[in-house]
Amino acid sequence: MKEIAEFLKGLPPATSIVALFLVIILTIFVKWESIVKFIKWIKGDSAKNKRTCGDCVLILFGIREKYEFERRQIDTNLLRLQMKFAEQKIQEVIFFLSQSFSEDIELLGSDSTNSQRITETALYCEAMKNSLLATKDEIRRSFKENGFGKFSESEYTHYVKEKTSVLITTIRSYLRQHYVETDKTIVKLHDRFKKMDEKYYQKFESWVFEIFGNARDLNKDAYTKKRDLEQKFRNDIDKFVNEGRTSKIGC
């Protein structure tokens, strides 16, 4: 290129212009393939920045999937927190009934051997513990339905009272099957059930009200979170659509 420039300087002005023109034409001819590739690259790079309809669909699916995932997380966390509190209350009931049974067997089994009292207490406590844990399935099912969250106060009170009756029936049924009584049994189930009805029923009911009251409060919080999440989802969609309308790059 340096030699060509020196050569053009030595020519008359008019001749050098013509010669320069011919050099440019020759250069374009020689480098034509490279020039075409460069132009195609420029166009291709520009095309990459354009959002196709397929891109739009994928973006919308991504927004929707994120929304559905976060919504499922709210429901999963709701049930987890509801059951965590319920299990804590169930442990309270287990401790209370265990203490109550120990008092009964000490009172009624004063003539029995220490070994007999220990064995019977262990048998009852194991059966009672499993019976209460069996109520978790019924409680979990009720939580999954979560219909009580929409009840009026009178409907809710009636619902919890009925649920208390169902849970106590479940406990009794389990104990009848697994607490084996013999002629030497010190504490009879009949006496335990009578005490549950006469002395402990209100206490049981208060526990159930606590369990479902906490569940209802958590349900209300979850409803608020899902409502806010839905509004965020709508805002994200509107933002995406508006960007497509105003942007020079759109599908």
> Do residues 93 and 132 make contact, with C-beta atoms less than 8 angstroms apart?
yes
- Decide if pLDDT at 20 tops 60: no
Quickly state the pLDDT bin for 75 (edges 50, 70, 90).
confident
Q: Which is more confidently placed, 248 or 35? A: 35
Task: Please tell me the distance from the alpha carbon of residue 243 to that of residue 51, in angstroms, as a whole number.
Answer: 11
- Decide if pLDDT at 247 tops 80: no
Considering only 4-18, 93-107, 195-209, 219-233, which range has the smallest mean pLDDT? 4-18
Residue 78 resides in a domain: yes
Residue 111 resides in a domain: yes
Q: Which is more confidently placed, 54 or 177? A: 177
Q: Is the pTM of this model over 0.85?
A: no
Please give the share of the chain, as a percent, with pLDDT higher than 90.
26
69 and 167 in a common domain: yes
207-224 per-position pLDDT tens digit = 999 999 999 999 989 888
128 and 14 in a common domain: no
Beta-carbon count within 10 A of 188 CB: 13
157 and 195 in a common domain: yes
Task: Please tell me the distance from the alpha carbon of residue 238 to that of residue 94, in angstroms, as a whole number.
Answer: 53
Range of the domain at 196: 64-246
Q: What is the pLDDT of residue 96?
A: 92
Q: What is the pLDDT of residue 155?
A: 92
234 and 155 in a common domain: yes
Quickly state the pLDDT bin for 72 (edges 50, 70, 90).
confident
Residue 168 resides in a domain: yes
Q: What is the pLDDT of residue 107?
A: 86
81 and 164 in a common domain: yes
203 and 80 in a common domain: yes
42: which 2 tokens? 């420029």
Q: What is the pLDDT of residue 64?
A: 75
Contact residues for 17 (Cβ-Cβ < 8 A; gap 6+) = none
141: which 2 tokens? 């099912």
Residue 181 resides in a domain: yes
- Decide if pLDDT at 150 tops 50: yes
Q: What is the pLDDT of residue 4?
A: 47
71 and 13 in a common domain: no
- Name which of 141, 123, 128, 140 is nearest 168 in CA terms: 128
Quickly state the pLDDT bin for 46 (edges 50, 70, 90).
very low
Query: Number of structural domains, the chain?
Result: 2
Residue 251 resides in a domain: no
Q: What is the pLDDT of residue 149?
A: 76
What would the mean pLDDT of 182-210 be, rounded to a whole number? 90
> Do residues 211 and 86 make contact, with C-beta atoms less than 8 angstroms apart?
yes
Residue 241 resides in a domain: yes
Q: Which residue has the tokens 């997380």?
A: 73
Quickly state the pLDDT bin for 8 (edges 50, 70, 90).
very low
Q: What is the pLDDT of residue 215?
A: 93
Residue 180 resides in a domain: yes
Q: What is the pLDDT of residue 34?
A: 61
